[in-house]
Structure 1
């Protein structure tokens, strides 16, 4: 039941008034002074959920297109700009970030038909373009120039598929940070796009047919994902649906995310059905493309497990957590039951984080206390080698094709920019294919790993990085980030923002909270549903460890997180505002009683639960940040960040939370909303825009953790 209580305040009158009417002063650090934030009218809606009345005074801010909301956003942008304009060293921060990011960047190359394809961004460009070489020693040829696709250069491109002979390229075009993209096909020989293209949508796989006469694609709508085949030269509207809606009597709806691909050898169409995000069950189906009338048959079906597959010839190898929480590698045939699978590599104490077949060998990547280790096996499971990495950091899977001699992997850390290595599967030798010339002296910095105890006694690892010899006396600025969810491990990876922070003499810390996949599915499940509080407790315990061991103090403690990490920031705001000096909360989930009703939020009910369910409602209400803002609380400095192009986590969360915290704040620290009209959840904005946004974030965090 829903009851609407409308305040007597006139929304338009309030929104059009100037802010600062009470005379209260907001004090930033280093002499920054602001009036109080723009006033936000309340227009309260009361929901009765399972017998509990829940008041929402800012429900009207959910409507992003209303004139009232747009006027409110404009005032918030001005308020934040007024704050940022007073930070004296912001231009130096822009210069520092520009120096770290204005370098040539390559993606991992892929070889097809003797041609090498990759994405590359030159140091003076804002976007990566798609390139090709006719051979390894040939010159780079630009095929798709992303810098010319839009005037503001907030349009990006990605490689979706390449024909086995290297003559056709399928690529996506994305506007700003949206998840949706349009799909285009390039004739590589003529350098001309075909007339065929797919309109902007959320696609879960686009693949050329082996004969190059069409493309398979999986397109998501809120009615469900469906797989289609587009024959080149025919209207898109005529594309037949090959799969979707139901399979073997099971209905397939919005929560069954279906992806499609074609094996490297062109023999099989591969269909994956992921049930929820993260998936609680992953089915894998195959169709033999050599037999036009063949049926779609199960490779893995009907078991509660997460599984990925790699094909070589007519053989299929699976990485699965079925009866193996840390995963194992098995060989399977279509139609077999799990009991018939052949175990190739048994489950071990370290979780398998990825695998691939290159040069006829299995390359299996594991996490040993969150550090990457890659072992090499024959296809019958005999270990025959390993890849050695240069110190603490994270490596990718070996990327290549089953029949190719050469593969590529990327290694990086908090103090080492991503370096692409070429690996010879015959000799076992690695050499550098590309290393960006980032002006950052790695030798002057160090990474260490510590272990601390969480509230319930769980041992949790954490990386700490900074300059060698940095004093551990509590005087340093410290920046900490975290995530804790969706079985995503937080590895030691390069980020120019963290590098800049360390260059200024600050520490950087990253705890490996429960909810990720650092220690397998058990680590993930320990922070799902009613156990989500474990993530927050791990986070607060990490902060207390760093303070107790004199890395920093609460006043000098900055934290950041985005998406599910934004929810973590929200819990920090409402549960332990005393621990931190400044909080950056990006693209956040904050209203956990309503998140499932917007954009693709319902996907995540398999991780968080659903407030419409009487079983889930109590624990969601207990920690949901938006419902736990308390009037009169002295909050630390906070910057919420979101953008109109976020089509994944609805910006309404940041809008409503900003209004509520500004109204409730009993302290005098700034509560800001940084609202981007271009940015979104996915990457895609121009490098210039990215540097500006990052500079705003770092200027805020550094300034607000400086001495008063």
Structure 2
């Protein structure tokens, strides 16, 4: 037998061993070939895209059941879940959204060891806490996604969703009786703005076309409306839409979002998309009562503005135009001239991040990619001042920009529980928080773990920040499990935050946690984002690969112990990392990941991604999208790592068909003996607001990974 035939036989045998060991539910191949400007791609799993098909639904159920049958055999899985709950309990009560109205406070909170947040009220900082609304008592699997208090404080508008679907019903709670009015505004997206008019008689909101996340119209042709409380929602007046406002030139996939300035002088119409840059219009508040509002242009895309703050007739803006690290300027809203505006905070060698406002001040951060210092701008004098709180990844929330200058500052670190500071811009007093703080009982993690911030040279010599968290007694001998995660999209930054209970539980298993700050993110400003999108997107996974290689070279881990992770658009990162370097990782954990980029545009949420990855209608874009597509890069007979691919059946952002198809081709093509599992959660969407669901998913993933890298507590008995 010649060498070529021998190698072919060995390859075939390896594939047969894999299929024999893991009897996956059968996935037939039904080839469909597409021609992308001369490049032909055959997709044998196109039939799995029909999520309404009984055959497809049966396939997902069988895949999920098979994965569960394997995972339940892993002995340490329940240990991980229970430890996550214990660590959550160490943190005490967790406060989420806090709003101040006069001396009254309204807030959502996860009580110690509870799994969902509930809505509470307190009259004054030292008042008695009162439960206003428990979503679980209202409806099974319901969670609060957002809320607004009416100016007269007699009503609270609450957005409620179920099973992580993100499509919400907007209901209005009567505070006195704690019952809902008959008004039901639906469907609305969980992240869209809604607000009461100053007389508390009406509410503005954005309505979706339908609530079926498998429909082509799911995220298209939305309308901003005003609803008079107590009337039939069918009679709500349209404020802005593609159909009624053709002069605005809205795309069907863009969504209109309405807000009022804090003094109710203007209505702001922002056109939402995945673009970081703002497109907005404005009109006097008095026009809300007119049949049709005369919208005037405010911010254009080519202004390259990512945030605004309006005070009377002044509009402050954050922009990266001719300033990759950003700058803040101010102009007159009645005659905005952003190109010739006064610059309040010029560009520096640090990245100027997130701009917020209180009644009289603008707040912003200066970041070196890890630490963030907080500053404020006096909107009358334009003077900028440093806010003296400890160094760290400092964030903030504003309690009520319409009424006061109170904010809460958060000092964060990877292994340091967040410390709160109360701050008032007018008095400039910084005081360690005494209210709305977690009554936690975490140990001093700095005695157990080390944090290291380094930079690693990528394929083209660019230095990539890499955050490492690991046990102090770690030996650099290559024997340690290591979990490396990255994202790299939309200009989003992964700044230090206290590790959640899931990652802390994984860290306790003598695992190195590594966060790769790859291009496509925003850690180093707008150029960092541009360095990992469309044509430059390969830098995202090549940066990740470079960081992975560094961890092996320096013996933090080895390829037999390395766990790669990516979620959502991070599916491009991890999907392409394991298809480009399948030898580098022992395990890949792909969470609700975009692994079939070439088909993304055909899904309900796909057109929204065009600003980030490009369009199939453009030949140059298509070339780059093909390069991002992990599914078409899977090779028959290649040895792939163990892979767990997670999807939520109610996911409206990344269709379950993408993770499903990637699992199918890996199961059919993989020549290694490593398992390829599709984890299907029927209580979840892109994520869940129910901590038990989240911890359950994470326990499954991490137990699978620790089993595969050889942790003795997680080995299935043979």
Q: What is the TM-score normalised by the length of structure 1?
A: 0.91
Number of aligned residue pairs: 678
Matched, 1:499 2:507: no
Q: Residues 670 and 184 (structure 1 numbering): CA distance in 2 closer, same or farther, change over 3 Å?
A: same
Matched, 1:121 2:121: no
The 5 A counterparts of 1:523-602 are 523-602=528-607
Distance 1:370 1:554 in 2: 28
Distance 1:470 1:370 in 2: 23
Greater alpha carbon shift after TM alignment, 541-550 vs 441-450: 441-450
Deviation at 1:98, TM superposition (A): 1.2
The 5 A counterparts of 1:185-584 are 185-202=172-189, 204-221=192-209, 222=217, 223-245=220-242, 249-274=247-272, 276-289=273-286, 295-301=294-300, 303-334=302-333, 335-358=335-358, 360-379=360-379, 380-389=381-390, 391-396=391-396, 400-401=400-401, 403-425=403-425, 426-432=427-433, 433=435, 434-437=437-440, 439-444=442-447, 445-494=449-498, 495-584=500-589
Distance 1:332 1:23 in 2: 65
Distance 1:440 1:254 in 2: 51
Distance 1:359 1:577 in 2: 54
Greater alpha carbon shift after TM alignment, 434-443 vs 363-372: 434-443
The 5 A counterparts of 1:633-672 are 633-672=638-677
Contact 1:112–1:163 (Cα < 8 Å) also in 2: no
Q: Residues 72 and 453 (structure 1 numbering): CA distance in 2 closer, same or farther, change over 3 Å?
A: same
Distance 1:510 1:291 in 2: 47
The 5 A counterparts of 1:32-71 are 34-71=21-58
2:101 equivalent in structure 1: 112
Greater alpha carbon shift after TM alignment, 455-464 vs 618-627: 618-627
Distance 2:625 2:357 in 1: 42
Deviation at 1:40, TM superposition (A): 1.1
Deviation at 1:281, TM superposition (A): 4.8
Q: Residues 637 and 191 (structure 1 numbering): CA distance in 2 closer, same or farther, change over 3 Å?
A: same
Match of 1:594, SS?
helix
Match of 2:707, SS?
helix
Deviation at 1:226, TM superposition (A): 2.2
Contact 2:591–2:645 (Cα < 8 Å) also in 1: yes
Q: Residues 311 and 612 (structure 1 numbering): CA distance in 2 closer, same or farther, change over 3 Å?
A: closer
Deviation at 1:132, TM superposition (A): 0.8
Distance 2:592 2:565 in 1: 11
Distance 1:126 1:37 in 2: 33
The 5 A counterparts of 1:7-46 are 24-26=16-18, 34-46=21-33
Match of 2:492, SS?
coil
Q: Residues 135 and 281 (structure 1 numbering): CA distance in 2 closer, same or farther, change over 3 Å?
A: closer
- Alignment counterpart, residue 72 of structure 1, candidates 34, 59, 75: 59
Contact 2:407–2:422 (Cα < 8 Å) also in 1: yes
Deviation at 1:399, TM superposition (A): 5.0
Match of 2:667, SS?
helix
Structure 2 unmatched runs, 5+: 1-12, 210-216
Distance 1:24 1:250 in 2: 59
Deviation at 1:139, TM superposition (A): 1.3
Distance 1:218 1:600 in 2: 17
Deviation at 1:539, TM superposition (A): 0.5
Q: Residues 288 and 348 (structure 1 numbering): CA distance in 2 closer, same or farther, change over 3 Å?
A: farther
Match of 1:641, SS?
strand
Distance 2:394 2:555 in 1: 28
Distance 1:233 1:399 in 2: 29
Distance 1:623 1:688 in 2: 33
Contact 2:351–2:369 (Cα < 8 Å) also in 1: no
Distance 1:68 1:290 in 2: 52
Deviation at 1:196, TM superposition (A): 1.3
Greater alpha carbon shift after TM alignment, 630-639 vs 432-441: 432-441
Contact 1:394–1:491 (Cα < 8 Å) also in 2: no
Contact 1:22–1:36 (Cα < 8 Å) also in 2: no
Distance 1:310 1:546 in 2: 43
Q: Spell out, residue by residue over 1:516-569, the C-alpha distance to the aligned partner (whole angstroms, 9 max, x if none).
A: 111211111111111100111110000111111111111111121110112211
Matched, 1:145 2:134: yes
Contact 1:305–1:322 (Cα < 8 Å) also in 2: yes
Q: Spell out, residue by residue over 1:409-462, the C-alpha distance to the aligned partner (whole angstroms, 9 max, x if none).
A: 333332123444322331431312302525453232232210111111111111
Distance 2:456 2:75 in 1: 38
Deviation at 1:42, TM superposition (A): 1.2
